[in-house]
Amino acid sequence: MDRPVSGPSGTVPAPDRSDGLLVVDDHPVVLGGVRSLAGQAGFRTIHEATDIVSGYRVFHRHRPPLVVTDLSFRDSGLSGLSLIRRLKALEPEVRILAFSMHADPIVVARALEGGALGFVLKDAGSGAFLDALAAVKAGRVSLPHALATEVAMLNRTVRPAPLATLSVRELQILSLMSRGKSYEVIADTLSVSYRTIVNASALMRSKLGVQSRAGLIQIAVEQRASGAFAD
């Protein structure tokens, strides 16, 4: 959905791509809050999407220079990571700010590796959000200080963190498993074959050092409890 911001006279100014913003989130309250803050920050054309498919389509059509996206979507796991990669592949110059209710350094590191310039927590407050938005718009990396330290330390950790070895797709699968989704449902959600999910799960068991599907599910549930996967 496109929401041009009216000028003082009540007329809607012509779209200006330099002030364009796309917000992708499946919570209406969050979309409304970001829209309001973005308007205060001077963005005149604000596009909205509630899932990664429509987010990609809206971006493909309008090519706004700045995108704000959640990382975790209901029933599709950490699909925001895939969206970031797809947008950067389509438009390498796009600047992306990721945000979420949870800040697992592994997931944040994957977002940065995929092309995001910044990350901000949804409950960080309007000031922190606007600062992060301004930094990313200007082409600067923006991370909360404590989180930046954790992300930086990942490369120094002798023993890899539980999720460090997993690919973006594997993180999506594990996130869905943590919600009790069956292999069949996960395959349907991610639009892949059942065999693809079975093979990916076998590879994840090898990477994470567990012998059974039950062990993999236990890790998934533990990671959700720790805040790795947002609801």
HSE toward the beta carbon, residue 21, CA cutoff 13 A: 26
pLDDT at 228: 67
Work out the burial of residue 214: count CB atoms within 10 Å of its CB; fewer than 13 is exposed, 13-18 middle, 19 or more buried.
exposed
- DSSP codes of every residue in 86-118: HHHHH-TT-EEEEEES---HHHHHHHHHHT--E
pLDDT, mean over the chain: 81
**E strand spans, the chain:** 2-4, 20-24, 45-49, 66-70, 95-100, 118-121
Please report, as a single letter, which amino acid is at residue 201. S
pTM, rounded to two decimals: 0.64
Q: What is the pLDDT along the chain (231 residues), one digit of tens a residue?
A: 555 443 444 444 444 455 689 999 988 888 889 889 998 888 889 999 988 889 999 999 999 999 999 988 766 666 788 899 899 999 989 999 998 887 788 888 888 888 898 999 888 889 999 999 999 998 888 888 877 777 777 655 444 456 777 888 888 888 888 888 888 889 998 889 999 999 999 898 888 888 878 778 878 877 776 666 655
Question: Would you give the end-to-end CA distance of the chain in angstroms?
Answer: 23
pLDDT at 62: 92
pLDDT at 170: 87
pLDDT at 11: 44
pLDDT at 134: 92
pLDDT at 161: 58
Q: Could you tell me if 121 and 99 are in contact, meaning their C-beta atoms sit under 8 angstroms apart?
A: yes
How far apart CA 124 and CA 83 sit, in angstroms, is 23
pLDDT at 95: 94
Neighbours of 125 (CB within 10 A): 11
CA 135 vs CA 1, 71, 149, 196, 231: distances in Å: 25, 19, 18, 39, 27
